[in-house]
Amino acid sequence: MKKILLILLSVTILASCATSIETPEQAVDVPEYTIGTGDQLFINVWQNPDLSMTVPVRPDGKISVPLVGDATAVDLSAEDLAAVLTKQLEKFIRQPKVTVIVISAESAEFLSRVRITGAVQLPQSIPYRRGMTILDLVLQAGSLTAFADGDSALLYRKTKDGTKRYSIQIDKIIKKGDISTNYELQPSDILIVPESIF
């Protein structure tokens, strides 16, 4: 009797979990990069080499630019910062043309990583690269352990509606060539592979 109750409880828990698991959209939605603290920027002011330079984004989120002084850079795209600097430099230069290039995105080091943990040979946190899939991440981790329940793996993804989770069937991908859950990854994705109960 005790065993039957335990099985029924397990089935109920699994059924309730299954209802909140979705299928992710295949289109990879990588938002426009915004500048963060610690990034290195190259500011190019066309035909003004004295104003062109490489500058770090300080902990207060600002950069220092000749003639302009301090300008807020954090949370702006490179294009938006170029527009801000152009407007400021118009007070000193006729029709300035400013280009901003992020040459070192230090602030995004952990924001753009993907992770795999649980019953894998080598849990990993690696830089995201466009086109990476579930299988790529599993292979980076040295594949599954002997005790892994690959078909019960879960992918956690941050979305505009909050964190969502998706069912992944790694055993089917590896052993049967069924790539229906070999989804393309997005920055900050986390794949968790549980151990088998039995």
List per-residue pLDDT tens for the chain, 198 residues long. Answer: 555 544 444 544 444 444 455 667 655 556 688 999 999 999 999 999 998 999 999 999 999 999 999 999 999 999 999 999 999 999 998 899 999 999 988 887 787 899 999 999 999 999 988 899 999 999 999 999 999 999 999 999 988 889 999 999 999 999 999 999 999 999 899 999 999 886
CATH 2.40.50.140 holds for 40-106: no
Assessment of whether the complete model's pTM goes beyond 0.85: no
Q: Which two tokens stand for residue 192?
A: 């968790």
Q: Which residues contact 122 (CB under 8 A, 6 or more apart)?
A: 140, 141, 142
User: Strand, coil or helix: what is 15?
Assistant: helix
DSSP secondary structure letters along 125-192: EEE--TT-BHHHHHHHTTSB-TTB-GGGEEEEEEETTEEEEEEE-HHHHHHH---TT-PBP-TT-EEE
What are the structural domain ranges in the chain? Answer: 40-106, 110-193
Closest of 190, 184, 180 to residue 151, by C-alpha = 180
Sign of CA dihedral 143, 146, 152, 158: negative
CATH classification of 110-193, choosing from 1.10.10.10, 3.10.560.10, 3.20.20.140, 3.30.420.480? Answer: 3.10.560.10
DSSP state of 110: T
